Amino acid sequence: MEESISLLTMIKNSFALGEVDIRTYSPLTLAYIGDAVYDLIFRTAVVQRGNTSPNKLHIRTTRYVKAPAQARLVEAILEDLSAEELAVYKRGKNAKPYTMAKNATAGEYKRATGLEALVGYLYLTDQMERVLFLIQTGLSKMEE
């Protein structure tokens, strides 16, 4: 049976990137990459549900990726986080951002930044299955 290679591994190999100590990354750096990964997950899910105009795709995606939605999702999964994951989330939440979201409270924006830092950390440590599990768990809990 053929073992799959993660996107992260393919990127590292393609660009000849070495290993780094992820613990040295600032929480805002983790949030930067986490934002892109989180967005890609939801864009992929929306696109896979059917072909439509880019505007409709954007509207469907933003329901999930806006700071208030991210804040609700992370609140739903807090009890499911390991001690290490919770520490990464808190570092991201407590970081001093350079900007604020237009349509979110300061608290929502901070919680969203914490979630993005966590997603970035899990992505950079090649734990995408855990990212997807946490997102699915959060969405399920939000629907209850």
DSSP string of 114-132, one letter each residue: HHHHHHHHHHHTT-HHHHH
Q: Taking the CA of residue 52 as centre, how many other CA atoms within 13 Å lie in the half-sphere pointing to its CB?
A: 13
Q: Of 21, 35, 80, 126, which is the active-site residue? A: 35
117/131 Cα distance (integer angstroms) = 11
Does residue 35 have an active-site annotation?
A: yes
- Cβ-based neighbours of 30, under 8 Å, separated by 6 or more: 88, 92, 116, 117, 118, 120, 121, 124
Evaluate whether 40 touches 131 at the Cβ level (below 8 Å).
no
What is the DSSP code (8-state) at residue 81?
S
Tell me phi and psi for residue 125, to 5 degrees.
-105, 15
Active site residues: 35
